[in-house]
Amino acid sequence: MSETSNAPLVAVIGAGPAGLMAAEVLSRNGVRVEVFDAMPSAGRKFLLAGIGGMNITHSEPLDAFLGRYRTRREALAPLIGRFSPDALRAWIHGLGIDTFVGSSGRVFPTEMKAAPLLRAWLHRLREAGVQLHMRHRWVGWAEPSDHAQVLRFETAGVERLVQADAVVLAMGGGSWPRLGSDGAWVPLLEARGVRVQPLQPANCGFDADWSAYFQERFAGQPVKSVAIGLRSSHDGALQFRQGEFVVTQTGIEGSLVYALSAPIRDALAAEGSATIWLDLAPGWSAQRVTDELMRPRGARSMSSHLQSKLNITGVKLGLLRECLSKDAFADLTQLAKAIKALPLRLTRTRPIDEAISTAGGVAFEALDAKLMIKCLPGVFCAGEMLDWEAPTGGYLLTACFASGAAAGQGALDYLATMAR
């Protein structure tokens, strides 16, 4: 659509999945769309996330899927209900990209990469008339004119003003500053009276204050066939989740840790530290572990005995020695209990710029049902700018796509209302 068109103009700020999806919804409904982003090219975080295999969504039943959003399930359910994981897969197929379901239930493009998908998508958007303006950093508003939004951008060392009939903000959280998600929008919205929950690391690692020996010997090593237990806030019972994680120089990270990062972070905020419990032999019953340990070991060392009877060696053995006193390690009863529930004290979350995603953001209570900011008519929010979080596994991207589509539709409805 040409720039001389009389169609209304919507400015989308942020060229990630949420912003581009809003642009698609708007452009296919006859609205002029201009997308602005501070980075030199679109979808930078999306591309980086796809380097190790583009996990686009998950195939589990919708009720279980929605449960991954914890306290924001109710807010996200209608958005994802309108743009479900199945709808997302169908949309990808419409771009000429096939998908498949992996053994874990995660859904991937057949090529396992984000770049082909993004190229096809950007081509379709440009064909629809969407204009992309890179290296445009949004720095707030000028004074509004009637119902229009007058936006200020810094580009090439100068300020540019853009007047739009509506705005979709989709600038991400604060966890990837080098890719554009730096949270610089927070004070801009707060200055306008928008309620923003503090940004916090999500899907993040944690510090464990290792000894120098353990740090030097085991940093970088994966811990496989393990479970992590957390005490229930309801009854104090240990609830375990199995997977794997990695020992780092400062603590722990990896998929199993990310899946539990929200309750661990909450415990740290409440108590100042958090204790998790490691089950180093999740396939064995406590009684079997005890029986094997109690077998005579003759002249063998305890380390050899553990390796021979329970296949505990390397980093798992190191964890036992790191977290237990010498007396406890030598006591077979205490050692058996520790193999099934080894306490590991975590002291801090890693910094927000190391996290995969962030919690916090624009509160849903500050928005109407169409994702418009109540105190800023005509301004909509989508993606990680909103106050929600989810584990890795396709849940993050699905909610970004779904909220982008919802914000785009919300802007369409707003424009229709204003035209009456």
Kindly report, residue by residue over 181-203, the tens digit of the pLDDT: 899 999 999 999 999 999 999 99
Residue 301: pLDDT band with limits 50, 70, 90: confident
Last residue of a domain, one of 289, 314, 349: 349
Structural domain ending residue among the three candidates 315, 349, 383: 349
Q: Residue 4's pLDDT is what?
A: 41
Q: In one letter, which amino acid is 7?
A: A
Give the pLDDT confidence score for residue 170 in this predicted structure. 98
Q: Is the dihedral of CA 213, 214, 216, 217 positive or negative?
A: positive
Q: Has residue 4 been placed in a domain? A: no
Q: What are the distances in angstroms from CA 206 to CA 210, 252, 354, 393?
A: 11, 6, 11, 20
On whether residue 244 sits in a domain, the answer given is yes
In this structure, the answer to whether residues 212 and 292 fall within a common structural domain is yes
Look up residue 234 and give its two tokens: 């309801």
Residue 72 CB neighbour total at 10 angstroms: 18
Same domain? 410 vs 337: no
Residue 300 scores a pLDDT above 90: no
Residue 80 contacts residue 88 (beta carbons within 8 Å) = no
Same structural domain, 107 and 248:
no
Q: What is the CA radius of gyration of the chain?
A: 25
Q: What is the pLDDT of residue 3?
A: 44
Residue 103 within any structural domain of the chain: yes
Which of helix, strand or coil describes residue 368? coil
114 and 194 belong to one structural domain: yes
Q: Are residues 116 and 225 in the same domain?
A: no
pTM for the predicted model, two decimal places: 0.90
User: Rounded to whole angstroms, what are the CA distances from 25 to 95, 109, 392?
Assistant: 15, 22, 26
For residue range 4-47, list pLDDT tens digits in order. 467 899 999 999 999 999 999 999 999 999 999 999 999 998 98
Write the pLDDT tens digit of every residue in 93-148.
999 999 999 988 999 999 888 999 999 999 999 999 999 999 999 999 997 555 57
Burial of 385 (0-12, 13-18, 19+ CB in 10 A): buried
Helices 115-127, 17-27: inter-axial angle, 10-degree rounding:
30
Q: pLDDT digit string (tens) for 349-399?
A: 999 989 999 999 999 999 999 999 999 999 999 999 999 999 988 999 999
The sheet with strand 251-253 has its strands ordered as 342-346, 274-279, 222-231, 238-247, 251-253, 206-207, 348-349
Joined tokens for residue 308: 């021979």
* Token reading at 353: 């710029």
2 lies in some domain: no
* Number of domains forming the structure of the chain: 2
Biggest CA–CA distance in the chain, Å, is 90
Same domain (yes/no): 112, 30: yes
Are residues 219 and 249 in contact, defined by beta-carbon separation less than 8 angstroms?
A: yes
HSE at residue 232, side-chain half, CA atoms within 13 A, is: 7
Q: Which of 232, 244, 211, 251 is nearest to 347 (CA)?
A: 251
Average pLDDT over residues 216-234: 91
Residue 25: per-residue pLDDT: 98
**Which one is predicted more confidently, 298 or 223?**
223
In this structure, the answer to whether residues 297 and 195 fall within a common structural domain is no
Do 35 and 159 belong to one domain?
yes
d(CA 31, CA 9): 6
Domain shared by 212 and 189, yes or no: no
Could you tell me if 392 and 203 are in contact, meaning their C-beta atoms sit under 8 angstroms apart?
yes
Structural domain of 275 = 206-349
> Which of 349, 367, 395 lies at the terminal end of a domain, its last residue?
349
Distinct helix (H) and strand (E) counts, the chain: 16, 20
Calculate the average pLDDT of the chain: 92
- Give the CATH number of the domain where residue 13 resides: 3.50.50.60
Specify if 396 maps to a domain. Answer: yes
Residues 396 and 314 in one domain: no
Report if residue 40 sits inside a domain: yes
**pLDDT tens column, 62-88:** 999 999 999 999 999 999 999 999 999
The one-letter amino acid code at 237 reads: A
pLDDT in tens, 147-169: 578 999 999 999 999 999 999 99
User: Are residues 154 and 218 located together in one domain of the fold?
Assistant: no
The CA distance from 360 to 194, in Å, is 13
Instruction: Please indicate, yes or no, whether residues 19 and 37 belong to a single structural domain of this protein.
Output: yes
Q: Note whether residue 279 is domain-resident.
A: yes
Are 20 and 384 a contacting pair, CB within 8 Å? no
In this structure, is residue 3 part of a structural domain?
Answer: no
The 8-class DSSP code of residue 181 comes to B
350 within 8 A of 204, measured Cβ to Cβ: yes
